[in-house]
Structure 1
Amino acid sequence: MAPPALQKQYMSSGTAPKKAIAEPRPSASILLISPSNQILLLHRVQTSSSFPSAHVFPGGNLSASQDGEIPGPTDPRRHVDGPAYRLGAIRECFEESGILLARRDDGSGALLEIPEEERERARKDIHAGKLRFGDWVRSQGGVVDSDSLLPFTRWITPTNIPKRFTTQMYIYFLPLTQTSAKNISSEAVIPVPTSDGGVEHTAALFASCKEWLDQATRNEIILFPPQYYLMHLLSPFLDTPSSTSLSTEDLQKQRDAVLEFLNGDGDGKGVKWADKVMSPTGLLIRKSDGRSVLALDKPGPELKDSGRRGDEKRVVLVKFRKEGPRSLEVRLRKDVLDEEKAVEKDSKL
């Protein structure tokens, strides 16, 4: 049976595309970490034009009218962390989840809390373009907390995919002392965010990285390679048995371990996680289980001569099916290639 169209596109991403390469659209997403070090995912609706039915991090496309100047296609800042990416990430997080990453401007450093009715009104008006996000935050006595965003890789869609993005990923740690049930509930139903009655997300839920990964492994939810891969990297630092209640000190130690990890490069090539760029490239389709092996070392044609790289040690295994990616796994590249060589050798005996 021939692989689905998306699997074919990924596996041919190392070849010259027949059509003109689409310009990747600037976007940003946040790996939002709760006071108990769980991570937020949003469940997209089946009719969505991007990542239908998948669980995703809050985020979306940048908006010039909302986020300020967006570097153009030939601008070297196009694929670099910057003010528009940071503001866009926080704005999208607010629109999609209702969680406002802003501080009170009174010098206290506390998160800005907004009454529910006003917050929901603002979410809809900002999404509809009736209200500028930054202006609204200032009118509420706050300042957007863009300085607390921690860059954590950039992803550029492979050239053979028709709709491409250059997505800056960030980590944001909600304060360990934050106790507002309104802004950090364990589960929140997302209201209709569009003026035409469409729903982009059905629910937002905090869970541990391990819980999300286990659900994807059992094919109970759909995760795309970037979400699976990034949670795989964070899981060893943030996961705690569900029966264990950690102290604030222990939770902070987990976060400190993440910060130490972010300051490293992961593969000895000198590119820190903040600057790594991943443009997945199909290496092969495994004979044993039919899964695609996606390499993450190349940054894509837009950054071909920039000196920036991705992850040269790891690969993502995935089976692209009609409903979306399935059977994901992150493995060491060397181990996977060695296994394939052994299978090839055995098949010739």
Structure 2
Amino acid sequence: MSRSDKDEEAFRNTMTGLPHKSSSTKAHASPKKIPVASPSASILLISPSNRILLLHRVQTSTSFASAHVFPGGHLSPQDGYLPPLEDIRRHEDSKAYRRAAIRECFEESGLLLAKRQDNPSELVELNEQEREEGRKAIHSESIPFAQWVQKQKGIIDADGLIPFTRWLTPANIPKRFSTQMYLYFLPIDSQLSSKTDKTQMHIPTPDGGVEHTAAQFLYPQEWLDLTLRGAIVLYPPQFFLLHLISAYLQPSPSNEQSIPTSELQSQRERLLHFVEMDGDPPWGEKCISPNPIKKIENGKYLIMGMADVGPELEGTGRKGDKERVLRVELMDEIERGRKRPSPQEVVWRRDVFPEESKSNL
């Protein structure tokens, strides 16, 4: 997903704005038309050794330069039917979102999440030439993705995607998205569960202009630590979700080169239980529209709420996360004369707003 400088500045202005009412309430109080939230999908792709893939955007990008993101992007008509704008089902998990997530993942990272037709228990294998030719063909839309996968004797593994939150851009941003996030576990293979997962890393091939310079698997906490050291840039959704899964996908405490298959599987099972069973509603059903709540420490930090669901889903019964908030540092970008939100910590809301807990007693 990409934004122009103007859209990105609007996004950042929202992240650094003064406390205001929820985006949903503000949207209904304003006579201005709410920009349409474009449908998109992203994948938290987990390697055979339970590391997670992030893509590094180029430094010269006009939006989110040098940021690390999950593979994903816009839905295309080829991905399938979506309900009309006024239908709330437009913001629910569906085949179209799943196909788009897998298509975009292949375009951006070269990893094809498709099962073999002759052996559905295995993924389709591609050599480097097949992979790069396929990525260019799909990106240029010279052939529909589903048709190309079929030519590779594969079946798009839409069933392998596990819903893991939906994110709606706040209503006062000019360019908005309704993004379905998914988890996907690459098969555990002892031969691929090395310390670096080198067989699952590569630099994306340019398709008329490079959007990402590298694709790399690291443990969630490693990505978070790099962010806190200022070595990489993460934006709130990526930081928040990486924080959630960091409690489950971890390296061996003994610093061994590899983790036993049984422990890898156990980590995955615990994460799945969290996503599918924990919370009200479970994380697979939550919808989050980040909402700046208040500035603290003389405006150096911003507390962002995760309870809002966005104007499209207000009154539908959908829920966000009422228990956690995100503390964001407002970093000066001298060359651009503005501030960039740098996530620092996910904390319990009750610890930041103890008065709310007392009022509920």
What TM-score do you get using the length of structure 1 for normalisation?
A: 0.88
Contact in 1 for aligned 2:16/2:302 (Cα 8 Å): no
Q: Which residue of 2 aligns with 1:334?
A: 350
1:84 alignment partner, SS class: helix
Answer yes or no: is 1:256 the counterpart of 2:266. Answer: no
Q: Which residue of 1 aligns with 2:230?
A: 219
Contact in 1 for aligned 2:35/2:174 (Cα 8 Å): yes
CA pair 132-236 structure 1, distance change in 2 beyond 3 A: same
Answer yes or no: is 1:207 the counterpart of 2:218. Answer: yes
Offset of residue 292 of structure 1 = 1.0
Determine the C-alpha separation between the residues in 2 that align with 1:318 and 1:148.
33
Q: Which residue of 1 aligns with 2:103?
A: 91
Determine the C-alpha separation between the residues in 2 that align with 1:77 and 1:158.
19
1:227 alignment partner, SS class: helix
Q: Which residue of 2 aligns with 1:133?
A: 145
Contact in 1 for aligned 2:190/2:261 (Cα 8 Å): no
Once the two structures are superposed, residues 74-100 of structure 1 have per-residue CA deviations (whole angstroms, 9 ceiling, x without a partner) of 123210000000000000000000000
Determine the C-alpha separation between the residues in 2 that align with 1:289 and 1:68.
45
Q: Which residue of 2 aligns with 1:185?
A: 199
Determine the C-alpha separation between the residues in 2 that align with 1:159 and 1:178.
46
Q: Which residue of 2 aligns with 1:347?
A: none
**Letter in structure 2 aligned against 1:188:** H
1:255 alignment partner, SS class: helix
**Letter in structure 1 aligned against 2:151:** S
2:346 alignment partner, SS class: strand
1:259 alignment partner, SS class: helix
Q: Mind listing any 5+ residue stretches in structure 1 that lack a counterpart?
A: 342-349
Q: Which residue of 2 aligns with 1:344?
A: none
Offset of residue 52 of structure 1 = 3.0
Contact in 2 for aligned 1:154/1:276 (Cα 8 Å): yes
Q: Which residue of 1 aligns with 2:329?
A: 319
Contact in 2 for aligned 1:30/1:169 (Cα 8 Å): yes
Answer yes or no: is 1:71 the counterpart of 2:83. Answer: yes
1:154 alignment partner, SS class: strand
- Determine which of 305, 313, 320 is the counterpart of 1:303: 313
Once the two structures are superposed, residues 133-176 of structure 1 have per-residue CA deviations (whole angstroms, 9 ceiling, x without a partner) of 10000011100001010000000011122211000000000000
Root-mean-square deviation over aligned CA pairs: 2.4
Matches within 5 A, 1:237-316: 237-241=248-252, 243-244=255-256, 245-266=258-279, 270-287=280-297, 290-316=300-326
CA pair 102-131 structure 1, distance change in 2 beyond 3 A: same
Contact in 2 for aligned 1:222/1:325 (Cα 8 Å): no
Offset of residue 128 of structure 1 = 1.1
1:189 alignment partner, SS class: coil
Once the two structures are superposed, residues 168-193 of structure 1 have per-residue CA deviations (whole angstroms, 9 ceiling, x without a partner) of 00000000028579x97353111102
Offset of residue 229 of structure 1 = 0.6
Q: Which residue of 1 aligns with 2:7?
A: none
**Letter in structure 2 aligned against 1:220:** A
Q: Which residue of 1 aligns with 2:162?
A: 150
Q: Which residue of 1 aligns with 2:131?
A: 119
Once the two structures are superposed, residues 112-137 of structure 1 have per-residue CA deviations (whole angstroms, 9 ceiling, x without a partner) of 01121111011011111111110000
CA pair 34-280 structure 1, distance change in 2 beyond 3 A: same
Q: Which residue of 1 aligns with 2:3?
A: none
CA pair 110-334 structure 1, distance change in 2 beyond 3 A: same
1:185 alignment partner, SS class: helix
Offset of residue 70 of structure 1 = 2.7
Determine the C-alpha separation between the residues in 2 that align with 1:19 and 1:328.
33
Offset of residue 226 of structure 1 = 0.7
What TM-score do you get using the length of structure 2 for normalisation?
A: 0.85
**Letter in structure 2 aligned against 1:7:** M
Determine the C-alpha separation between the residues in 2 that align with 1:13 and 1:157.
15
Answer yes or no: is 1:163 the counterpart of 2:175. Answer: yes
**Letter in structure 2 aligned against 1:262:** V
CA pair 151-339 structure 1, distance change in 2 beyond 3 A: same
Determine the C-alpha separation between the residues in 1 that align with 2:61 and 2:35.
20
Determine the C-alpha separation between the residues in 1 that align with 2:282 and 2:63.
29
Determine the C-alpha separation between the residues in 2 that align with 1:67 and 1:290.
43
Q: Which residue of 1 aligns with 2:13?
A: 5
Determine the C-alpha separation between the residues in 2 that align with 1:10 and 1:117.
51
